[in-house]
Amino acid sequence: DGGITQSPKYLFRKEGQNVTLSCEQNLNHDAMYWYRQDPGQGLRLIYYSQIVNDFQKGDIAEGYSVSREKKESFPLTVTSAQKNPTAFYLCASSKPETSGAYNEQFFGPGTRLTVL
Amino acid sequence: AQKVTQAQTEISVVEKEDVTLDCVYETRDTTYYLFWYKQPPSGELVFLIRRNSFDEQNEISGRYSWNFQKSTSSFNFTITASQVVDSAVYFCALSRGGYQKVTFGTGTKLQVIP
C-alpha cells in the first residue's frame, strides 16, 4: 500500500541533543513537507522540498535542518538550537498536477517528540 | 498574507445531530485552493476535500457537505446526523496552488456524544 511512514511514533531526547525524525513516502510524490503542531496553534510549516537536493525554509525553520537526497525520503533534524522542541511533528507529501493546480497533501502518522 | 480563521475551538453535539464547522479565510489572490482535513485521536491528518476558488459549487459526500461562498470568504463544513466516529479535530486550510505554502486554521475539536 502506498503511503507515508514516520518513525518513531514517540521520541524522547535530553536537552542539548540533536535528534532526527524519519519520513519516507512511496507515493512517487515530488514535494515533501514538515510541519510542527502545538496545542491550539494548528500546523506550522518548518521546511519543504519540491525536488531532490532542493528545499526551502518555512515559517519556523530556526533550529531545524533537513536533507532531500532521495525522492522518497525527507528527514528532519531537530537541533539543540531549537528553543522549545517538544511538539507533534507531521510529514506530508504532494504531487501537484502538471497544469499547475494544487493537489492535496497527504500526511504521515506523526512523531511526538518530548524533550526531557 | 493569507489567513484562515476557525473561530469555534470546541464543539460538542449529541449523536445524530447536525453540526456546522465554520471557516473564514483571507487572501488577496484571485486563484486559490481551500481544503478540509480531519485529525482523529491517532494524530494523522486525513484529507477530506479540496475546492478551487473558481468553483463555487457546493459539494455533498455522504453525510458531509461543504458550502463555499466567495462573497463572505467562507468555506463551511456540515456533518449531517453526526456519529461518534466523527469526533476529531477538523482543520480548514488555504493555498495559492502549485508548491505554495498551505496556511492552516487552528482547528475545531468536535466531540460527538453518544
The pLDDT of residue A97 is 61
- pLDDT 10s digits, B35-81: 999 999 988 999 999 888 988 888 888 999 999 999 999 999 999 99
Residues of chain A with pLDDT under 70: 1, 96-102
B96 versus B19: the higher-pLDDT residue is B19
Contact A102 B107 (CB under 8 A): no
Residues of B in contact with A101 (CB under 8 A): 33, 52, 97-98
**Is residue B97 scored above 80 in pLDDT?**
no
Smallest CA–CA distance from B89 into chain A, residue: A42
To the nearest whole angstrom, how far is the Cα of B107 from the nearest Cα of chain A? 6
What local confidence, expressed as pLDDT, does residue A112 receive?
95
pLDDT at A95: 81
Spatial contact of A3 and A19, defined as CB atoms under 8 Å apart: no
C-alpha A91/C-alpha A32 separation (Å) is 7
pLDDT, tens only, A75-106: 999 998 888 899 999 999 988 665 555 578 89
Q: What's the pLDDT at A100? A: 54
| Beta carbons within 8 Å of A111's beta carbon, 6+ residues apart | A6, A7, A8, A9, A10, A11, A21, A22, A88, A89
Q: Which three cell numbers stand for residue B49?
A: 476535500
Of B44, B97, B99, the CB nearest to A50: B99
pLDDT at A96: 66
Instruction: Please give the grid coordinates belonging to residue B36.
Output: 478540509
Q: What is the pLDDT of residue A16?
A: 87
Question: What torsion do the CA atoms of A54, A50, B4, B80 make, to the nearest 10 degrees?
Answer: -140
pLDDT of residue A51: 87
Q: Do A41 and B106 touch (CB under 8 A)?
A: yes
Instruction: State the pLDDT at residue A22.
Output: 96
Whether B91 sits inside 8 A of A43 (CB atoms) is yes
Contact A102 B101 (CB under 8 A): no
Task: Tell me the nearest-neighbour CA distance from B38 into chain A, angstroms.
Answer: 11
Residues of chain B with pLDDT > 70, as a percent, come to 98
Position B76 scores a pLDDT of 96
